[in-house]
Chain A
Amino acid sequence: MRTKKGKLIYNLITFGLVTAAFLICNSMLQSGSMSRTLKGQLVPICAWIVMAISLNLVIGISGELSLGHAGFMSVGAFTGIVVSGWLLNGFQVENDALRLVIAMVAGGVAAGVAGVIIGIPVLRLRGDYLAIVTLAFGEIIRNVMNCVYVSVEGSSLRLGFINPNLPGTLLLNGPNGAVKVQRISTFLAGFLLVIFTLVVVLNLINSRSGRAIMAIRDNRIAAESMGINVTKYKMMAFVLSAVLAGMAGALYGLNMNTLVPAKFKFDQSINVLVFVVLGGIGNILGSVISATLLTVLPEVLRAFSQFRMLVYAIVLIVVMLATNNPLLRSWFNQLTAKVKGRITGRDGQTTKGGGAA
């Protein structure tokens, strides 16, 4: 798709933009010139960026439509909250940063396990069927979370499925979710998680495993006949994406005072899907930008919130019409070829023509 030099430039731009955005926001925070609403959005933005990148790994790189991504986020969020509360109440770990890191790792592992359990049956399906089943699994996770009660007594965890009258301090209270969560997520932690995600995903794409995943996306039968184990690599992409979503969930959950399972409904999965589609399927930098914009914009434009769905519908229709118009498409292709040619230092047209033998 891109030349080696082009790939390097793309990666550098991605990391550069994210770092620059972080530095700008950080200096604004320090000088106190950032509005309160935006300040509150910083950590969620990081979490949604990670969500968008990780979903892009499944949709853009692995080529499977998954509609249950919020489910993994929810698993990660509640695991993170439980682990953080357990460490604080059971082991008196006062260090916030340490607790946050352990909580994120735990959230990632739990979501990864959920990813394996869901992936085994789901990845046997293709296309629409896979989308429908992942959607169902997302809902199942939410409903399971609705009836989980966890408390910590001494240094041991108590788990119940019916009765909230557990001994000790209650951490998860079924449909009421987690209450009185210590907010230990910081913007720096969010930024580091975004960088971690970018490193993992971009390095994966440019490695043997990543190429195998993309080969399966491009042509399953050809990939199989080249000796690529399709199940293994689909599973790899799916589980890795679940792990990253779980870590994002832990970051998100530990930024809230209260968190109910209903927060991770089906429409959150769709929201993340919108980030991915708007940013460009398979385009990691696009996911970062669209996740940022689409998280900030509704907050900034709160005054017009009643028109949001209306505008959404119009934008969707316009996008559909535009992308199916051959004239517009060819014009857009020419434009991107030109831009690409300028970046990589050669003309897009000659690259194509150079193949003639």
Chain B
Amino acid sequence: MSENSVKRHSTTKMVPVPSRSIVPERDLGRQPVLECHHLGIEFGGLKAVDDFNLTIGRTEIAGLIGPNGAGKTTVFNLITKVYQPTTGTVMINGRDTSGMNIVQASKLGIARTFQNIRLFSNMTVEENVRIGLHNQIRYGMFTGICRLPAYWTKEKKQHQRSLELLSLFGMQDMADVQAGSLPYGAQRRLEIVRALATNPSLLLLDEPAAGMNPHETEELMETIIRIRDQFQIAVMLIEHDMSLVMGICEGICVLNYGRVIAKGTADEIQQNPVVIEAYLGRRKEADA
């Protein structure tokens, strides 16, 4: 089954859009989820990201790859407004995010996972997901303290919804386990569930397959595609595992020293001599 779905998506036809990027053909008529224009950030004179342009279609699975220290996570931090860019803009669902903070960006429909897992480790698995539902199913402090009827109905809703989301990864049986005591792979999956709970239109995954074995990675690939199909959202992921990136990503963007060196489909990226050079280095003249 995984072979089928992987093939289906790696052969998506990609078409160019005005902002010098590509999106899947099916998303052409719709507003892109994310548009980055000339995005850049400097840390005390060091240009960590420079002139970064990217457009992501409404249901695209996009990949962001590059050697270590290329600035991939910095791009994620710029999109989620952890850092404010020194140049350029980020548009989410067509809205300019300049001057916004992390919370406002999240409310626009961005959710993310972290490279070094950031779960609420002293809370249970279900409570972690419920935090993701914080802005979806809401009631005030006094309702909570006085246990008004709204408290009981909303709590029940939160409970059902979190079990539903956990069942995406077959984790509904672990709802009462303390998040910090989960095995590594399960913690990564829980982070994805928690991000999904915020009802995002763009899901940013920072190395989702790190620390997973090939079998788990295979499952993860299927799940990412299933999530995209079921929720009709866009996914952007940073990953070093090339089987995952080449298998499910439709548009891939390669970053090196903070600059985009290539953009295209998996096939194009694999053939691109600039990308090969960035990863493997240039062949010495004498060897040639």
Contacts and interface: CB of A to CB of B under 8 A. Distances in A.
B176 A219 contact: no
Contacts of A4: 176
Nearest to A212: B134
B261 interface: no
Given A203-B145, A208-B138, A208-B154, A218 B181 contact: no
Given A1-B122, A227-B103, A207 B141 contact: yes
A226 B183 contact: no
A218 B123 contact: yes
B144 A218 contact: no
A211 B132 contact: no
B198 A214 contact: no
Contact of B112 (A200, A209, A225, A356): A225
A226 B132 contact: yes
A215 B131 contact: yes
Contacts of B123: 1, 211, 214-215, 218
B141 A204 contact: yes
Contacts of A1: 122-124, 178
Given A221-B118, A222-B120, A357-B185, A208 B139 contact: yes
B103 A224 contact: yes
A336 interface: no
A210 B101 CA distance: 22
A230 to B, nearest CB: 8
Given A204-B141, A354-B174, A215 B198 contact: no
23 contacts: A1-B122, A203-B146, A207-B139, A207-B145, A208-B137, A208-B138, A208-B154, A209-B144, A212-B131, A223-B120, A225-B82, A225-B106, A226-B131, A226-B195, A227-B103, A227-B135, A227-B198, A228-B103, A236-B141, A352-B177, A355-B182, A356-B186, A357-B185
Interface of B: 80, 82, 101-103, 106-107, 111-112, 114, 118-124, 127, 130-132, 134-135, 137-141, 143-147, 151, 154-155, 158, 170, 173-174, 176-178, 181-183, 185-186, 194-195, 198
Which 5 pairs, one residue from A and one from B, show the smallest C-beta to C-beta distance? A207-B144, A227-B106, A218-B120, A222-B118, A224-B102
